[in-house]
Homo-oligomer: A and B are copies of this chain.
Amino acid sequence: MRRKVYVDGAGVRVPFTEVVLSGDHAPVRLYDTSGPGSDPAEGLPELRKPWRRGRTQLAAARAGIVTPEMEFAAIREGVDVEVVRSEIAAGRAVLPANVNHPESEPMVIGSRFLVKVNANIGTSAVTSSVAEEVEKLTWATRWGADTVMDLSTGPRIHQTREAIVRNSPVPIGTVPIYQALEKVKGDPLKLTWELFRQTVIEQAEQGVDYMTIHAGVLLEYVPLAAERVTGIVSRGGSIMAAWCLAEHRENFLYTHFRELCEIFREYDITFSLGDGLRPGSIADANDEAQFAELRTLGELTHIAWEYDVQVMVEGPGHVPMHKIKENVDRQVELCGGAPFYTLGPLATDIAPAYDHITSAIGAAMIGWFGTAMLCYVTPKEHLGLPDKDDVKAGMIAYKIAAHAADLAKGHPGAQEWDDALSRARFDFRWEDQFELALDPETARSYHDQTLPADAAKTAHFCSMCGPKFCSMKISHELREAGMKAKSSEFVDAGGRVYLPVTGA
Q: Which of A7-15, A201-209, A235-243 contacts B (4 or more CB under 8 A)?
A: A235-243
In the assembled complex, A468 has its CB within 8 A of some CB on chain B: yes
**Contact, CB under 8 Å: A125 / B232:** no
With both beta carbons as reference points, the residue of chain B lying nearest to A185 in the complex is identified as: B504
Which of A242, A280, A347 has most chain B Cβ within 10 Å?
A: A347
Q: Mark A323-356, 1 if CB is under 8 A from B, else 0.
A: 0000000000000000000000001111111101
In the assembled complex, A37 has its CB within 8 A of some CB on chain B: no
In the assembled complex, A189 has its CB within 8 A of some CB on chain B: yes
In the assembled complex, A477 has its CB within 8 A of some CB on chain B: yes
**Contact, CB under 8 Å: B404 / A283:** no
Copies in the complex: 2
In the assembled complex, A499 has its CB within 8 A of some CB on chain B: yes
**Contact, CB under 8 Å: B468 / A125:** yes
**Contact, CB under 8 Å: A383 / B422:** no
- B residues less than 8 Å from A237 (CB atoms): 471
- B residues less than 8 Å from A502 (CB atoms): 186-187
Answer whether A238 and B463 are a contact pair too, CB < 8 Å, given A124-B469, A153-B469: no
8 Å CB contacts to B: which residues of A216-255?
222-223, 225-226, 229-235, 237-239, 241-242, 245-248
8 Å CB contacts to B: which residues of A416-453?
417-419, 421-423, 425-426, 433-434, 436-439, 442-443, 446-447, 449-451
For this complex, into which size category does the number of interface residues on chain A fall?
35 or more
**Contact, CB under 8 Å: B232 / A464:** no
**Contact, CB under 8 Å: A472 / B230:** yes
**Contact, CB under 8 Å: A231 / B421:** no
Choice from B353, B357, B401 contacting A442 with Cβ under 8 Å: B353
- B residues less than 8 Å from A485 (CB atoms): 245
In the assembled complex, A496 has its CB within 8 A of some CB on chain B: yes
In the assembled complex, A412 has its CB within 8 A of some CB on chain B: no
How far is A177 from B502 in the complex, measured between Cα atoms in Å? 17
Q: Closest 5 CB pairs between A and B?
A: A231-B475, A281-B422, A246-B499, A125-B466, A186-B468
Provide 28 A-B residue pairs closer than 8 Å at the C-beta atoms, listed in order of the A residue.
A126-B451, A127-B450, A186-B504, A187-B504, A230-B422, A230-B426, A231-B471, A231-B478, A239-B474, A245-B485, A246-B481, A246-B497, A280-B471, A283-B419, A318-B422, A321-B405, A348-B407, A351-B439, A352-B433, A352-B437, A353-B442, A353-B443, A358-B400, A360-B360, A361-B364, A384-B449, A385-B463, A387-B449
